[in-house]
């Protein structure tokens, strides 16, 4: 997991931001000096008005006023601020006219406070109102939103005078996402902290509720989900909650946290000596919305180089069969470029760049392939297994709680001819496997915390045209394409199995002695060992596929690999087991053949049977296992 370290994003909530009005039946604030007045006529249909500085907006709902009324909002500063609001804690004051105007339904006022006018850390913002006798009143309930642009607070007002935004000490909340730039598949930490300053009298409980905006998502939500605070007498206190997020794709995502906090009455005990009157229900919650942005990038790490030409089989394996590329990390294994090789004796995971063997597992020969699967992203803290198939198949389990493959294997009583992950991906929730009884499935079981065989099966009795030999699904739980094998000169068949009560559909003929089907994007290909060809089909992964036609390749293709190119074409690699060749075929999205080239493998590689594409610092290459010579060949397309 690659993560770029950077300065954390910090959203300071400054406690709780509220709105205040100064009711001044005989005079509350005028629009003189450098103050600027903005007016609008609002009637029974409702309307809105924004202050001259653009930071305060009044919204009057329909029915709140019976008649057309000229409403004026004036930013007040300096000596024009009423005496009872002449305090360093006051950040903004707006005079609202006509004085004493009453609303049948409360209007809403929203004020945006820029970073330059925000109070110091640890100082929450509050809202104050005052009547004609100078008694301050506190509005509620309120909503506060904090993001990279500043702080916005909104609340209801019932009547007019002067609107004031001020801060008070006692409660502060921070939201931190770290790191702020993360590679796709990487993780980051989100920390929400409630901070009480020294001598704060606030007590009570609150709850954190989170939401996540794509491409970020939670790997583990906030723990604990809430907080409890008590009066801080001699020193301040901090209560934190932490969540883990992941980047699923490229882009800027947001972690949004709603702090369903303490009641207004609890929070503002600290200013009770100022004789503040609470407007609204004393048990109303203070609701604070905060967000922190995380930039998800497609980080391309420095690629190692794998030399072209022949290489010895890893770990002493003989009769090399299928291989799967694993990247740089799988379970507790790591390296520059890991690959899982299957051979007669079992499987070996080795590093292609260094040749170092990372893991070896043997069993009763012969084996045809080793297919790894992992929860995303692969690594030591994710459930994983390797499905070794052939005449005596078994699953080799990895356990994150012990940090190692546990020695336990799950065996199968019948020979298995093919195993593939959903969509051909290393990280998937489901594998399928093919034996003489049909197509069965292994799926991630959240209760067991591991991949387990399911009871579902596509029985062979429902599929004719030969023996089932290979299958593929684009998505876990989705329809399956099944290939049957008939000895030459008879043709195998391609079947579409929807995995419901509907019987499988015979799509059409594939070549004689069919061996393997794989798909990428909308292109599928089936190898025909006796026909020396690929059968090309188009499939959206959901509906009935369409067979396009056949493409000639080397003599005796067994396995194949498909990759999607940047232009949308699909590159198919196959091998000629009998004539020691390999073929690169490119298919357009409409199924037409763009190019088709067959070349010899390097001398010394005999009976090439399986191929996988990979990229190193030189670009795309192909790795071919050589069954007859117990080695592998690295080739450049």
333 with 389, same domain: the answer is: yes
Q: Is residue 556 part of a domain?
A: yes
Task: Check pLDDT > 70 for residue 34.
Answer: no
DSSP string, 95-146: EEESTT-EEEEEEEEEEEE-GGGPPPTT--EEEEEE-TT--EEE--SEEEEE
Identify whether the C-beta of residue 637 lies closer than 8 Å to the C-beta of residue 584. yes
Average pLDDT over residues 579-594: 97
Q: Return the number of other C-beta atoms located less than 10 Å from residue 253's C-beta.
A: 23
Task: Check pLDDT > 70 for residue 147.
Answer: no
Upstream peptide bond of 98 is cis (omega within 30 degrees of 0): yes
Partners of residue 74 on adjacent β-strands:
37, 95
DSSP string, 564-601: E-TTS-EEEEEEETTTTEEEEEEE-TTS-EEEEEEEEP
Q: Is residue 78 part of a domain?
A: yes
Q: Is residue 437 part of a domain?
A: yes
Gap between the Cα atoms of 563 and 525, Å rounded = 12
CATH number of the domain to which 43 belongs = 2.60.220.30
Q: Is residue 636 part of a domain?
A: no
400 with 485, same domain: the answer is: no
Question: Higher model confidence: residue 436 or residue 202?
Answer: 436
Q: Measured between alpha carbons, how far is residue 388 from residues 179, 329, 394, 419, 461 in Å? A: 39, 19, 6, 9, 25
Gap between the Cα atoms of 592 and 151, Å rounded = 57
**What pLDDT is recorded for position 72?**
92
**What pLDDT is recorded for position 27?**
36
Tell me: the pLDDT tens digits for 252-311?
888 877 765 555 444 443 333 334 444 444 445 556 667 788 888 876 556 788 999 999
User: Of the residues 118, 145, 168, which one is the last residue of a structural domain?
Assistant: 168
432 with 349, same domain: the answer is: yes
**DSSP-assigned letter for residue 607:** S
> Could you give the percent of the chain with pLDDT greater than 90?
50
User: Of the residues 168, 183, 203, which one is the last residue of a structural domain?
Assistant: 168
Tell me: the pLDDT tens digits for 71-81?
999 888 888 87
Identify whether the C-beta of residue 613 lies closer than 8 Å to the C-beta of residue 624. no
Tell me: the pLDDT tens digits for 172-184?
667 788 888 888 8
541 with 435, same domain: the answer is: no
Q: Is residue 60 part of a domain?
A: yes
Predicted confidence band of residue 496 (pLDDT cuts 50, 70, 90): very high
Q: Return the number of other C-beta atoms located less than 10 Å from residue 419's C-beta.
A: 25
Structural domain boundaries enclosing 613: 312-455+603-627
Q: Pull the structure tokens for residue 602.
A: 């390097």
Q: Return the number of other C-beta atoms located less than 10 Å from residue 124's C-beta.
A: 28
Gap between the Cα atoms of 544 and 566, Å rounded = 26
What's the domain count of the chain? 3
Q: Is residue 20 part of a domain?
A: yes
433 with 335, same domain: the answer is: yes
20 with 153, same domain: the answer is: yes
Gap between the Cα atoms of 520 and 249, Å rounded = 19
Phi, psi of 562 (to 5 degrees): -125, 135
Gap between the Cα atoms of 195 and 122, Å rounded = 7
523 with 439, same domain: the answer is: no
Predicted confidence band of residue 351 (pLDDT cuts 50, 70, 90): very high
Gap between the Cα atoms of 245 and 221, Å rounded = 8
Tell me: the pLDDT tens digits for 422-444?
999 999 999 999 999 999 999 99
Q: Which of 158-162, 454-458, 562-566 has the lowest mean pLDDT?
A: 158-162
Q: For the full predicted model, state whether its pTM sits above 0.75.
A: no
Question: Higher model confidence: residue 193 or residue 268?
Answer: 193
Tell me: the pLDDT tens digits for 207-217?
777 888 888 88
613 with 549, same domain: the answer is: no
Q: Pull the structure tokens for residue 287.
A: 């609701």
**DSSP-assigned letter for residue 234:** S
């Amino acid at each position: 997991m690659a993560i770029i370290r950077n300065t954390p994003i910090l959203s300071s909530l400054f406690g709780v931001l509220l709105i205040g009005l100064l009711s001044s039946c005989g005079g509350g604030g005028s629009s003189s000096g450098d103050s600027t007045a903005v007016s609008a006529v609002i009637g029974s249909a409702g309307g809105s008005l924004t202050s001259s500085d653009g930071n305060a907006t009044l919204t009057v709902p329909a029915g709140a006023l019976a008649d057309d009324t000229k409403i004026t909002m004036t930013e007040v500063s300096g000596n024009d601020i009423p005496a009872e609001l002449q305090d360093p804690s006051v950040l903004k004051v707006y005079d609202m006219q006509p004085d004493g105007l009453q609303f049948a339904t409360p209007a809403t006022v929203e004020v945006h406070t820029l970073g330059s006018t925000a109070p110091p850390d640890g100082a929450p913002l509050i809202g104050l109102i005052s009547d004609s006798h100078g008694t301050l009143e506190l509005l509620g309930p309120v909503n506060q939103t904090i993001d990279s642009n500043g702080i916005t607070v909104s609340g209801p007002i019932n009547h007019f005078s002067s609107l004031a935004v001020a801060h008070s000490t006692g409660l502060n909340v921070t939201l931190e996402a770290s790191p702020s730039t993360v590679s796709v598949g990487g993780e980051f930490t989100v920390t929400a902290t409630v901070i009480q300053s020294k001598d704060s009298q606030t007590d009570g409980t609150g709850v954190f509720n989170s939401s996540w905006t794509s491409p970020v998502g939670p790997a583990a939500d906030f723990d604990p989900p809430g907080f409890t605070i008590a009066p801080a007498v001699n020193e301040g206190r901090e209560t934190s909650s932490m969540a883990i997020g992941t980047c699923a794709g490229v882009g800027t995502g947001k972690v949004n946290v709603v702090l369903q906090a303490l009641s207004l009455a609890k929070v503002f005990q600290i200013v009770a000596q100022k004789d503040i009157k609470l407007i609204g229900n004393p048990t109303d919650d203070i609701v604070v919305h905060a967000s922190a942005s995380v930039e998800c990038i497609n980080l391309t790490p420095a690629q190692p180089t794998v030399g072209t030409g022949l290489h010895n089989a890893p770990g002493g394996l003989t009769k090399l069969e299928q291989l799967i590329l694993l990247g740089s990390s799988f379970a507790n294994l790591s390296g520059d470029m890991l690959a899982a090789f299957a051979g007669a004796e079992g499987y070996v995971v080795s590093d292609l760049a260094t040749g170092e063997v990372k893991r070896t597992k043997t069993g009763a020969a012969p084996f045809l392939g080793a297919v790894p699967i992992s929860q995303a992203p692969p690594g030591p803290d994710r459930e994983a297994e390797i499905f070794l198939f052939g005449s005596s198949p078994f699953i080799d389990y990895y356990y994150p709680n012990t940090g190692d493959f546990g020695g336990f294997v799950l065996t199968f009583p019948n020979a298995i001819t093919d195993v593939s992950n959903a969509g051909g991906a290393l990280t998937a929730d489901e594998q399928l496997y093919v034996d003489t009884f049909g197509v069965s499935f292994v799926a991630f079981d959240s209760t067991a915390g591991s991949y387990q065989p399911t009871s579902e099966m596509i029985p062979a009795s429902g599929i004719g045209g030969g023996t089932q030999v290979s299958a593929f699904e684009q998505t876990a739980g989705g329809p399956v394409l099944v290939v049957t094998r008939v000895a030459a000169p008879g043709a195998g068949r391609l079947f579409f199995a929807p995995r419901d009560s509907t019987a499988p559909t015979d799509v059409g003929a594939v070549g004689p002695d069919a061996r393997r089907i794989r798909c990428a994007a909308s292109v599928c290909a089936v190898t025909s060992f006796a026909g020396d060809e690929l059968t090309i089909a188009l499939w959206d992964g959901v509906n009935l596929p369409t067979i396009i036609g056949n493409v000639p390749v080397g003599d005796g293709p067994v396995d194949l690999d498909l990759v999607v190119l940047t232009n949308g074409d699909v590159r198919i690699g196959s091998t000629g087991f009998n004539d020691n060749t390999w073929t690169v075929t490119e298919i357009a999205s409409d199924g037409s053949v763009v190019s088709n080239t067959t070349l010899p493998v390097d001398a010394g590689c005999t009976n090439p049977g399986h191929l996988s594409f990979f990229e190193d610092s030189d670009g795309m290459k192909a790795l071919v296992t050589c069954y007859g010579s117990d080695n592998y060949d690295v080739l450049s397309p």
